Amino acid sequence: MTNPAFAHNPVQRMLSLDVVRGITIAFMIMVNNNGGPGSWHFMNHAAWNGLTPTDLVFPTFVFVVGISVVFSTDARLAKGVARSRLAWHTLQRAVILFLFGIVVNNFPFFELPHMRFYGVLQRIAVCYLVVSLFYLWDKRAWTKAVALFGALVGYWVLLRWVPVPGAGMPGRDIPFMDQTLNLVSWIDRHVCPYHLYLFAPDHNVRDPEGLLSDLPAIGTALMGVLTGLWLRAAKAVSTKAVGLAAASATSLAIGYVWSLSFPLNKNMWTSSFVLVAAGYSLALLTLAYWAIEVKGWRKGWTWVWLVFGSNAIAAYMFSELMPGILSHIAIPAGPGRRADLFAWLFTHVFAHIPDPGWAAFAFSVSFTAFCFIPVWVMYRKKIFLKV
């Protein structure tokens, strides 16, 4: 059992945070490769308004990024690294991560006319850059709280009270939170026409990681920064655990109440979604923190998550690139027919499981285990992809 001393060591890693990161990236790989239309409801995103466990994965990772910013920045400053050098390294890492995202989105063909520039890694890069430079410039918690309030309320004001050009006022001339007639989609259609996640030759639709919705996503990262500041405070670990639980309950309560007028929506990353998702992220962190930092349960069960968490970006990139490779390997599938290897594996192995939900789940778990192999090798050789 760990000593609940008033630890304030900027260099010390927090094992529970690594475990949460590992759990998050493993579940992200699972839901991104969920086995297709037969998969269970909770393994799929909500179609529009609403929330499933799958919708919580991405914001949890962004939330963890915010916490990590506090620990990594304090650790490097404690080693004497100049702030200007840290700022330059932050910019470099964000650019590299953004470029990784473009590779993941467009592999293997990179068709410029419809190349997608928004994406998961790109959003993480933007959030990381903004909150890192903000924290490097000012470490006070109240400034982060004010910025969080401004981001969430400001985003709500923009979506609710700013007319959509050519369509009208949301809630009066057009439905509030319409799937295509909203300010977020309108901006993306004009900033990156036909480079969006959802588009057709004659119908440019929207992108779930669009430009304006980066604003509340930065709010998610700021909630992570505030959590990191709480975890870095000179308080007993038991007190910190109670504080995490209280913050989780508060965030969930405010978020669900706000969702009555500003619906939960992962595609638009609504402000209520930020609070509810962060509330569940805090709940997961509370459990991990209590088990590992308070009770000292560090052996055995943490290993898989530590391996995934130590190379989360590498694991994610491998999981996103591998389907593109496997789906372009054609193999015989009967007289005069050929199938790609990815589809062949599901049809000839997992589709034999009678229940389609379990078949999809078995495929998802197996693919995640497959992605574990390269990061385990990297972990064994102490190779860590840092961006």
Q: Which residues pair with 168 in a beta bridge?
A: 164
Window from 54-58, 182-186, 202-206, 320-324 with minimum mean pLDDT = 202-206
Pick the residue with more confidence: 25 or 330?
Answer: 25
Q: Which tokens belong to 313?
A: 């970006």
Q: Quick one: average pLDDT of 54-74?
A: 96
Mean pLDDT (whole number) for 207-221:
95
Q: By the 8 A CB rule, do 315 and 371 touch? A: yes
Q: What is the mean pLDDT of residues 157-173?
A: 94
Per domain, the residue ranges of the chain are: 15-380
Q: 19-38: per-residue pLDDT in tens?
A: 999 999 999 999 999 988 88
- Supply the pLDDT for residue 12: 62
Position 10 scores a pLDDT of 43
**Exposure class string for 275-291: b at 16+ Cβ within 10 A, else e:** bbbbbbbbbbbbbbbbb
Return the residue matching tokens 């898989």: 304
pLDDT at 68 over 60: yes
d(CA 231, CA 289): 10
Q: Which of 60-74, 106-120, 323-337 has the highest mean pLDDT?
A: 60-74
CA distances, 266 to each of 8, 144, 153, 205, 310 (Å)? 35, 23, 17, 16, 26
Task: Say yes or no to pLDDT of 307 above 60.
Answer: yes
Kindly report, residue by residue over 73-116, the tens digit of the pLDDT: 999 999 999 999 999 999 999 999 999 999 998 887 888 888 88
What is the rounded distance in angstroms from the CA atom of residue 337 to the CA atom of residue 331? Answer: 9
Region 250-267: mean pLDDT is: 97
Tell me whether strands 338-340 and 330-332 are parallel, antiparallel or unpaired: antiparallel
pLDDT bin (cut points 50, 70, 90) of residue 374 is very high
